[in-house]
Chain A
Amino acid sequence: MSRDSPPSPAPQWLIRVAVLLTVVLGVNYVVWRWLFSVNWNAWWIAVPLIVAETYSIIDALLFGTTVWKVKRRGAAPPPPPDATVDVFVTTYNEPLDLVQNTALAARDIHHPHRTWILDDGSRTELRDWAAAHGIGWIRRSEDWVDRPRHAKAGNINNALMQTEGEFLLILDADQVPVPEILDKTLGWFTDPEVALVQTPQYFVNVPKHDPLGSQAPLFYGPIQQGKDGWNAAFFCGSNAVLRREALMQLGVSRYAAEVETAVRRALKTSDRVLRSAREELDEDDERLVAAIDEVAAEVRHARAELDQGVALADVTYGFQQRIDVVSDRLVADDLTAVRADLEVIAGLEGAIAQESSPLAVLDEVALDRVSRRAWSPLGALETVRTLIGAVDMSRDDEAQPVMPLATISVTEDMATAMRMHAMGWRSVYHHEVLAHGLAPEDLGSMLTQRLRWAQGTMQVMFRENPLVVKGLSIPQRLMYFSTMWSYLSGFAAVVYVTAPVLYLTFGVLPVQSLSSEFFARLIPFLLVNQLMFLVVGKGVPTWRGQQYSLVLFPTWIKSVTSAFGNVFLGRHLDFSVTPKERPVTDGPQWHLVKPQLIVMGALVVAVGLGMVRLAVGQADPLGIWANVAWVLYDLLIFSVVIQAVLYRGPEPETEPQTQPQPKEGSAP
Chain B
Amino acid sequence: MSDFEVTVTDDGVGVVRPLDRLTMVSAKRFTGHVADLIGGGTSRIVVDLSGTGFVDSSGLGALIAGLKSARQAGGDLRLAAPTEQVLTILSLTNLDKVLRPRDSVADAF
Contacts and interface: CB of A to CB of B under 8 A. Distances in A.
A260 interface: yes
A478 B92 CA distance: 26
Contact of A312 (B56, B65, B98): B98
A248 B72 CA distance: 23
A394 B58 contact: no
B24 A256 contact: no
A33 interface: no
B57 to A, nearest CB: 3
A283 interface: no
A314 B98 CA distance: 8
A256 B68 contact: no
A317 B76 contact: yes
Nearest to A256: B94
Of all A-B residue pairs in the complex, the 6 with the closest CB atoms, nearest first, are A248-B57, A311-B100, A394-B68, A249-B57, A253-B93, A256-B94
Which one of A162, A313, A314 has the highest number of Cβ atoms from chain B below 10 Å of its Cβ? A313
B46 interface: no
Contact of A393 (B27, B60, B67, B92): B67
Contacts of A312: 97-99
B8 interface: no
B24 A400 contact: no
A251 B61 contact: yes
B97 A252 contact: no
Contacts of B60: 248, 252
A10 to B, nearest CB: 42
A113 interface: no
Contacts, number: 91
Contacts of A622: none
26 contacts: A161-B65, A164-B27, A164-B28, A165-B24, A244-B24, A244-B58, A245-B24, A245-B57, A248-B24, A248-B57, A249-B92, A252-B57, A253-B95, A255-B95, A256-B98, A259-B98, A260-B98, A311-B96, A312-B97, A312-B98, A313-B78, A393-B68, A394-B71, A400-B65, A401-B68, A402-B64
A310 B64 CA distance: 18
Interface residues of B, number: 27
Given A164-B28, A253-B92, A253-B93, 9 more contacts: A245-B57, A249-B57, A253-B94, A259-B98, A311-B97, A311-B98, A393-B98, A401-B67, A402-B65
A180 interface: no
A394 B57 contact: no
Contacts of B99: 311-313
A166 interface: yes
Interface string B56-97: 111011001101110110001010000000000000111111
A248 to B, nearest CB: 3
A309 B98 CA distance: 10
B100 A313 contact: yes
Contacts of A392: 71
B72 A252 contact: no
A164 B100 CA distance: 27
A256 B95 contact: yes
A395 interface: yes
Contacts of B78: 313
A314 B100 CA distance: 8
Given A393-B68, A394-B72, A245 B58 contact: yes
Contact of B97 (A164, A248, A260): A260
Interface in A132-165: 161-162, 164-165
Contacts of B71: 317, 392-394
A257 interface: yes
A396 interface: yes
Contact of B24 (A166, A257, A402): A166
A395 to B, nearest CB: 7
Contacts of B28: 162, 164
A252 B24 contact: no
A312 to B, nearest CB: 5
Contacts of A260: 97-98
Nearest to A404: B61
A431 B48 CA distance: 47
B94 A248 contact: no
A313 B57 contact: no
A311 B78 CA distance: 11
